[in-house]
Chains A and B, each alone.
Chain A
Amino acid sequence: MVFTAVGLWAPPPPVRAQAPPDVYINVTGGGSTKLNIALPDFTVVSGSDAAGLSRLLPTVAGNDLTLNGLFSVVAGTERIPANNPEALQQTWANFAAAGAHAAAHGLLTIRGDRVEADVRLYDLTSPQFRMIASRKFDAAATPAHTSGSDWRRRLAHKIADEIVLQFTGEKGVADTKIAYVVGPAGAKEIVVADYDGFGVTPVTRNGTINLSPVWSPDARSIAFTSFMNGYPDLFRLFPFEPRRGTQTLASFFGINSSPAWSPDGQYLALTLSKDGNPEIYILTVATGALHRLTRHASIDTEPTWSPTGQQIAFVSDRAGQPRIFVMDRDGSNVRQLTNGGFHTQPRWSPKGDTIVYTQREGTHNLWAISPGGTNARPLTSGQGDNQGATWAPDGRHIAFQSNRSGRWQIYVMLLDGMSTTTQITSGAAESTSPSWSPRLP
């Protein structure tokens, strides 16, 4: 781990709703519920900013806040001199006049490869632009997590996540990773990138076909299907421990696929055909013990756990075409969730209230439905194929693959469907099958 918190924001109020505090919503008026926040350049109070942190940190954190969806970053990068309270007040007065409700400003202390950022939040709706919170971040200037990622961007993501926490009561999801598959059919490898697409790092290099990466709940390992030994077997890799080998999870006759971690990380729901037909099993990861859940002559695959660990949604073609079903964790109480379509890839929200799936109707589109089977609604339409959704840990965002630009790329969007969808991969390679990590430890 690259940096260590040496302080915390002032303790958040005991209970806060998911929405920003009322005072900010009232200020915005006009129906907008976004908090306008200013992020001027950070101020170097000591040392030489060779890494360009004073501009990079607020820029990256501002992008994170924009992607979060509850914030609107007010333009302006005024440079605030150190130890000059009058200049600071004037800067906040200018931003307040431009419509900002709040501001975040960092003081950087740089000593060789040690960087300390003292980040302060200001309430620009208060008379004296009162400082409402501060937190120090200490970053050791070494590569973060994977060879391709950048510790400076991770520092910015940490700052953004804490700003989100301060205003909403729940941490943001900027300090997370997305694993996905790169390459055409027949030559697919798994990579890991920051949630915004930066810092792409290959994590498989076996020259075969690697599919279906899924992060474990502790964000330390990724389960995936691979043909590295000839047949579709299930493995687990440890992306932040490069010297640790890949572990075999299941290599039975037939397919070993569709891994889904239980919320506590002790179990893996998976699809095996060793007993003659694709069926869903639960693997106890620590012992290798298997427990079969489905017994049906049709295809049963693609399990996904409810966040309580008590239910599993899955795909079955027992109704003719593939549809989404739900069963209890022991395989009992099977009920059909979707009707009248070709439905695959169910993904249960970490908040529990929504299941996203893929509907095929000529093209593929993402749909959402409640676990009770109500409120089915499209999340995408009219823009090529959209499939393979994965939830962010906040339950507000999803990443998915779309070919709307011609080839498969990964996109991130807010679940409300109204907001901007952001493309996070680019280039000539096909990028598919994203898995959004939990918040990193």
Chain B
Amino acid sequence: MVTRAAQLTMMSLLLAGLMITGCAKRPATTAASAAAPAPTAAPAPAPGSSSSGAAAAAPAAAAAAPGQAPRPSPKEFMAVAALKEVYFDFDKYDIRPEDAKTLDANAAWLKSNSDNLVLIEGHCDERGTNEYNLALGERRAKATMNYLVSQGVQTNRITIISYGEERPVCTEKTEACWAKNRRAAFLVKPR
């Protein structure tokens, strides 16, 4: 195999030089498209379908649906002493009975301070993996929100955010520390 290849070396060098020159291809650089318009409702083409122009088209960003209120910046929310954190078991997102009392008190405060919007943060400990924990934190924030709504807090006052395992309050590798990190926290801002 290889010996035959050696005999062809000189010829291939000549030919290859021509070939490479002839097809010095590099994908065309697409125009930058930072802020794309609202997404179209075009159906997704079948996979593998030919669309030679797709690579060159400026990709559109999938943004919030038209008519949806903008998300308030998390930076605008502040902690308030009256709203206590609640905690979760490992890989769980259901509200524990002892935490329901905390949430009842949080709901009561929010109802009597109705000029405040609330941001619920969902957090995880470092075990598990980043992407799964981002989803798990979302579920914890959502479960917490649902509980507050069931206690009479208006849905449109609540925003949720998941930080997954990215914002621990405690960094030791102990169960006591992990338990503190598996939490939902509350921040508020005036309407």
Contact = CB atoms under 8 A, between A and B. Distances in A.
Interface stretch (A73-81, A255-263, A416-424): A255-263
A131 B24 contact: no
B61 to A, nearest CB: 4
B54 A132 contact: no
Interface string B142-186: 100000000000000000111111111001000000000000000
Chain B interface mostly helix, strand, loop or mixed? loop
B1 A133 contact: no
A283 B63 CA distance: 11
A13 B5 CA distance: 7
A435 interface: no
Given A248-B34, A271-B131, A360-B128, A283 B162 contact: no
Contact of B1 (A16, A211, A286): A16
Contact of A310 (B47, B132, B138): B47
Interface string A355-390: 000101000100000000000000000000001100
B142 A286 contact: no
Contacts of A185: 126, 165-168, 171
A7 B68 CA distance: 57
Interface string B52-94: 0011010111111100100101110000000000000001000
A132 B2 contact: yes
B43 to A, nearest CB: 6
Chain A interface mostly helix, strand, loop or mixed? loop
B62 A231 contact: no
Contacts of A51: none
B132 A441 contact: no
Contact of A246 (B34, B40, B139, B165): B34
A302 B131 contact: yes
B191 interface: no
Contacts of B5: 9-13, 132-133
B12 A10 contact: yes
Interface in B12-65: 12-13, 16-17, 19-20, 24, 26-27, 29, 32-36, 39-45, 47-48, 51, 54-55, 57, 59-65
Contacts of B1: 13, 16, 21
Nearest to B68: A253
B128 A278 contact: no
Contacts of A131: 6, 9
B118 interface: no
A247 B167 contact: no
A322 interface: yes
A136 interface: yes
Contacts, number: 245
B105 interface: no
A343 to B, nearest CB: 10
B55 A253 contact: no
A220 B63 CA distance: 23
Contacts of B65: 252
B134 A253 contact: no
A45 interface: no
Contact of B166 (A8, A186, A245, A364): A186
B9 A134 contact: yes
A288 B27 contact: no
A251 B63 contact: yes
B145 to A, nearest CB: 11
A212 interface: yes
Contacts of A249: 59, 61-62
13 contacts: A13-B2, A130-B3, A132-B3, A166-B2, A185-B165, A236-B59, A250-B63, A252-B63, A252-B65, A266-B54, A287-B42, A288-B36, A299-B136
- 8 smallest A-B Cβ distances: which pairs? A288-B39, A288-B60, A8-B16, A10-B5, A278-B135, A13-B1, A248-B61, A7-B13
Interface of B: 1-9, 12-13, 16-17, 19-20, 24, 26-27, 29, 32-36, 39-45, 47-48, 51, 54-55, 57, 59-65, 68, 71, 73-75, 91, 126-132, 134-136, 138-139, 142, 160-168, 171
